[in-house]
Amino acid sequence: MHRKCFKEMPCPIARGLEKVGEWWSILILAHAHQGMTRFDEFEKSLGIGSNTLTRRLNWLVEQGLLERRPYCEKPPRHEYVLTPAGRDFAPVLQAFDAWGRQHAQGPPGPPLTLID
């Protein structure tokens, strides 16, 4: 299905999935909800390649879930802060965490703690 079709669909789940993007985006949002804001923090914590992280952060900014804010001029550095729409994603993360603990096999991780 063409990406444009998602925006025209009456299904809010499809439109929501289009806005978030893919699984790296959800993990980035989860880490942002845990207080991470800087590129190097996301990169190290997630073990994600810098090219992929750059694309996903740019996508989340374009979609209005994160806001890019400068925190250093020399060299230029930015932090990524949750927007109101990004903060509203918290219940989705909590539901996904609970579902994954119950239905996805693997070692138990620490409980998801969201920081407001």
CB 21 within 8 A of CB 6: no
- Rounded CA gap, 13 and 6, in Å? 9
The pLDDT of residue 15: 83
Tokens of 13: 């789940």
**pLDDT, average across residues 79-102:** 93
In the chain, the percentage of residues whose pLDDT exceeds 70 is 91
Tokens of 60: 């989340």
- Residue 63 CB contacts under 8 Å (≥ 6 apart), including other chains: 19, 20, 21, 85
CB 16 within 8 A of CB 9: no
* Global pTM exceeds 0.75: yes
Domains and CATH numbers, the chain: 3-97 (1.10.10.10)
Task: For 26-60, write each residue's pLDDT tens digit.
Answer: 999 999 999 999 999 999 999 999 999 999 999 99
CB 11 within 8 A of CB 92: no
